[in-house]
Amino acid sequence: MPRLPAPHRLLPLLCVLLLPTPSAAEQVSVPSPPGDSLALRAHLERLEGVFVQGGWGSVPPGPTLRPGEEDARVADVRARLRRSGDLSDRDPAGPGVGTSPGARAVSPGSEGTLFDEALETAVRRFQARHGLDVDGVVGPATLAALNVSVDQRIRQVALNLEHRQAFREDPGPWNVVVNIPGFEAFVFEEGRSTQVHRVIVGRVDRPTPILSGAIEHVVLAPTWNVPPGILANDKLPELRRDPSYLARNRMTILERSTGRAVDPSTLDFRAMTAAEFNARYWIRQAPGPTNALGLVKFIFPNPHHAFLHDTPDKHLFERGRRAFSSGCIRVEGALELADRLLPMVRGWDAERGRAAAAGRVETWVRLPTPVPIQTVYWTAWVDGDDTLHLADDLYGLDELPPAASRGMIVHHQGTAECEA
């Protein structure tokens, strides 16, 4: 059952809702993302306040709503976004839960059926904090998120609060936290977030594991040895369709027994099974900007063989739901992360690192002090602007305790097979 406010809590909640809204300058500073238990608890109480007031309603089904159009359901969208705080025009409903109480107000929009500019801004804000494609259009995915009830969101935040309280951040001077369903990686220095990177994680059928480790190596201009599973499921079908695929992608077939290169024209890909190919050969992609691992990867030894890496497919970072990989984590701005880590190594700096990354020779650089890294599974968190973010339960683990979630993903996946 959802965690709903007990009767003895209703009066205090109503009193809080009637308090005057403080200005932005009066707000208490919230820790850098991904926030902490206190910030998440405050938003849980705001959600409970919305529940006390009757919830935030829903939007009837219908065709996609676009800016500039008129539709009777526009009024329902406007009311729904006011209740959650995404459309704030200082109406009597008071501050919402998606923003801090002193958030900048959006100029009042039409109260009629026109999908105006103010409403488009609010829709975009709602989409951004729910991990949706930010296009300002109320399509099926946005409509579904709008129609998640407040009591469901209360349950989601309460469960994440339990997980957050069980989380133990590494106390070292540097550490990295990757939030899988949030599609973000946070770099912490002395307990404060100094970099936030959008990431791409594993698909539902090839999930990214929950784990802890330490980054030991930065690998510049990496080669890519195609894993057996990716070869069987992705690359061999591609070779059967287009034998020129190897040359176009600077890939070489090598014999497992000798390591010698094989002329692909001598192989019958259609007659060969994946098991036969994997038993006799493997495929290696040369370093370069089109390499599946991009220009850099970050190695933290773990039983799942997962790692962080760059990617040539930068356009995918613009998507809201970024679950496209085979288990490893693609990092936007991977070179910027390398810029921060390489100066830890004597004789290395960002300039030398970028030059090596742009080269054609794979170079391994060992960090003198490994940097702790954790992957976590948080579908609700608060950013540095005190905005509540709510993500889909990507792998269906939201209601499991942290230890059970970890075991579920490990059992499901076993070994990550990384690609770009």
Residue numbers annotated as active site: 309, 328
Alpha carbon distances (Å) from 297 to 30, 38, 215, 258, 328: 32, 35, 10, 27, 10
Bridge partners of 366, per DSSP, are: 217
Cα 279 → chain centroid: 36
> CA-CA distance, 416 to 334, in Å (whole number)?
19
Tell me the CA distances in angstroms from 402 to 72, 89, 214, 375, 405, one per residue in order. Answer: 44, 39, 20, 12, 5
Q: Using CA atoms, how far apart are residues 116 and 413, in angstroms rounded to an integer?
A: 46
- Say how far apart CA 92 and CA 52 lie, in whole Å: 15
Is 206 within 8 Å of 413 (Cβ atoms)?
A: yes
Peptide bond into 34 cis (omega under 30): yes
Report DSSP letters for 231-243, one per residue: IIIIIHHHHHH-T
List phi, psi (to 5°) of 330: -90, 135
Contact between 156 and 147 (Cβ < 8 Å): no
Nearest residue to 99 via CA among 192, 21, 193, 196: 21
- The C-alpha atoms of residue 84 and residue 175 are separated, in whole angstroms, by 33
The two most distant CA atoms of the chain are separated, in Å, by 79
Q: What is the DSSP letter of 65?
A: B
